[in-house]
Amino acid sequence: MHLAYPAVLAALLFCVGLYGVLARRNAILVLMSVELMLNAVNLNLVAFDVWLRDTLHAGQSLTLFVITVAAAEIGIGLAIVLAVYRARGTSDVDRLRDLAEPPAVPDPAQLPAEEAAA
């Protein structure tokens, strides 16, 4: 089997995932796109492991590690998305700036005299 076939497929999957991350506004779709990108990396790791005929199977071992990290990432990511959805009623990524703390209101006693009078 040629190495070009899985490499081209992985590049296409990665590009579709990158487009999804950059173009989507829904947090769930962004998480799905990140998973697609990680799967493209996994495909490359396994393809190069088979192509190099590694006796330690380092590519497959690293793939299992990436799958484990991806599972933890999706669990934490979904928990954050649910918390945002409960607080705001939307999972729009552009509105996540609204969750920032408001600026602190200064104490009038600490303001200069001309600002305190205004």
Spatial distance between the Cα atoms of 112 and 118, rounded to a whole number of angstroms:
10
- What is the total count of domains within the chain? 1
Residue 114 lies in a domain: no
Per-residue pLDDT of the chain (118 residues; tens, 9 = 90+): 689 999 999 999 999 999 999 998 899 999 999 999 999 999 999 999 999 998 889 999 999 999 999 999 999 999 999 988 888 788 888 877 655 655 666 666 666 666 555 5
Report the CATH number at residue 72: 1.10.287.3510
Tokens (6 digits) for 71 = 């599972």
Residue 35 lies in a domain: yes
Residue 15 lies in a domain: yes
Spatial distance between the Cα atoms of 116 and 107, rounded to a whole number of angstroms:
9
Residue 31 lies in a domain: yes
Supply the angle between the helices 27-52 and 4-23 in degrees, to the nearest 10: 160
Name the pTM for this structure: 0.76
Tell me which residue range forms the domain holding 24.
4-95
Residue 108 lies in a domain: no
> Exposed/middle/buried for 44, CB within 10 Å: 0-12, 13-18, 19+?
buried
Per-residue confidence (pLDDT) for residue 91, from 0 to 100? 84
Residue 113 lies in a domain: no
Spatial distance between the Cα atoms of 74 and 78, rounded to a whole number of angstroms:
6
